[in-house]
Chains A and B, each alone.
Chain A
């Protein structure tokens, strides 16, 4: 359980995190989503006390992280970049962390096995590939058998097999009743593992919602229909709970609140020929982009139309 309250972090006159408040609950995977520079890493660093909040507070299982007598048992964190000494072997890195908590050597070997690092555990960690480095970071995060697991961009730089491994790991940890908090700037990745989403942009909370609700709010389940006589089709389809939009002068209509199947039947019943009838499910990516459009820190100069139409 992570609780943030009015969490704010300023660096000089730049506000990285701005009055952020959220609760991350146990038993589910909570995605922490936002464009680059949204304040995700800073928030995570404040959770484990590496950065001190300018104002506000964040607690883990009811206490500030530093107040716990065995911090690694409360939160296991994988933070950005490599948090290792490249000259030390994977085994010795984990063991040094274990010694600070009195975690037995058996557990050190366990997490090394769990992350599949046995064959390289005695090698200098500096020579590890990006994927191995991530695995080592995750081994360190799981070391204390923590109630909360917090991973910052865990799939960055992983091959497909590694990505799949992380996904299974995260859902497995949540199923064990742990709090799992994962940041990403990739909505598509989050959609596969996260149940709950906390979306931030420019340090502010944009949404605290579930994946389903986010899609619904972004206008998912729209049906696109084209016909020679849109005005007549409108009349036919009109009814309670049905919302029809369409630009004047085009043959196209967008219908919300009816399935494509029902529209097809209705049109056939009234003898209206249809040229096109398709479900336009809003992708999560789209929903995310709509939500964060105004909060993107660095806009590209080349116009990319996110709706997929030509710009």
Chain B
């Protein structure tokens, strides 16, 4: 009995020493991307700038409106029809640039530096990297923008109280608009990451982002009115803006429709990014 057991070498010695059970999982890729985001100084600076733009420009617009009302200065028609929500969210135009650019940097920055080789060597299935980057940055941008929108409204509505623009937070559609603005900016961040991954170039990604959000709406206005009215509400910027408008114009989408259209644009950008990521060599 004893001889039989001693002649048999212990099973554990005959195999290779136990190796730690490492494994790539979706959650771990998410954690890795989270860590990558916060360990770069550019993230803190750009997010800070985005928040500053959102809050500062909202408050400046509110103060400008208030002073125009009290002094009786002439205001152009659009500005005169402002609400405390639209004034407070004036900064979204600028914050979307900061957040969109940072989104581009999150993905395209890895290609321009060479980091992508390390990233894809660790996660060679590739797609989890894109989903994680988009999710991590999208949520971060969403949270910061939502907080920024509410803070700006809190102070901005105080500035314009007693004017025709005044609205309290309990006014119908205000809370929805503020959340809508946060969601819009979060999705702009996602579109930025998608464009960065699609174009693999920081300059290219930023150019397309700026063109999409700011230049194309202007170009469409050159089209004959009958066409423009049918096209422009569905463009990314216009659809996004209807997500955080309190009142609806004749030629804009409802907030829900706006969200839906903007989500479709986001999904298209992500699909393009996923296609390029999987199909082309890194």
A residues at B contact (CB < 8 Å): 45, 48-52, 65-66, 68-73, 75, 77, 79, 81-89, 92-93, 95-97, 99-103, 140, 144-145
Contacts and interface: CB of A to CB of B under 8 A. Distances in A.
A73 B114 contact: no
Interface residues of B, number: 32
A140 B22 CA distance: 15
B23 A86 contact: no
Contacts, number: 103
Nearest to A69: B23
A84 B124 contact: no
Interface stretch (B25-33, B167-175, B176-184, B253-261): B25-33
27 contacts: A49-B121, A49-B124, A50-B121, A50-B281, A50-B282, A69-B23, A71-B124, A72-B121, A79-B117, A79-B121, A83-B114, A83-B121, A84-B113, A85-B36, A85-B109, A89-B39, A92-B35, A96-B35, A97-B118, A99-B31, A100-B31, A100-B122, A101-B23, A101-B28, A102-B25, A102-B28, A103-B20
B78 to A, nearest CB: 41
B19 interface: yes
A48 B22 contact: no
Given A81-B114, A83-B117, A70 B23 contact: yes
B281 A70 contact: no
A87 B120 contact: no
A79 B120 CA distance: 12
A145 B31 CA distance: 21
A300 B22 CA distance: 49
B36 to A, nearest CB: 5
A87 B114 CA distance: 12
Contact of A97 (B23, B42, B122): B122
A75 B24 CA distance: 14
Nearest to A65: B124
Contacts of B24: 69-71, 100-101
A99 B129 CA distance: 13
Contacts of B124: 48-49, 65-66, 68, 71
Given A48-B124, A72-B122, 5 more contacts: A50-B282, A68-B124, A70-B24, A92-B36, A101-B22
Contacts of A92: 35-36, 39
A84 B110 CA distance: 8
B40 A50 contact: no
A100 B28 contact: yes
B115 A84 contact: yes
A70 B121 CA distance: 10
A100 B32 contact: yes
B121 A71 contact: yes
Contacts of B81: none
B104 to A, nearest CB: 15
Contacts of B114: 81-84
Contact of B36 (A45, A72, A96, A144): A96
B74 interface: no
A105 B36 CA distance: 15
A236 B281 CA distance: 64
A99 B28 CA distance: 6
A82 B112 CA distance: 11
B125 interface: yes
A87 B281 CA distance: 24
B144 interface: no
A85 B125 contact: no
Contacts of A100: 24, 28-29, 31-32, 122-123
A95 B41 CA distance: 17
Interface string B103-142: 0000001100111111011111100000000000000000
A81 B29 CA distance: 24
A66 B125 contact: yes
B19 A51 contact: no
A82 B113 CA distance: 8
A95 B113 contact: no
B191 to A, nearest CB: 22
A96 B132 CA distance: 13
Contact of B118 (A73, A99, A140): A140
Contacts of B35: 92, 95-96, 99
A96 B39 contact: yes
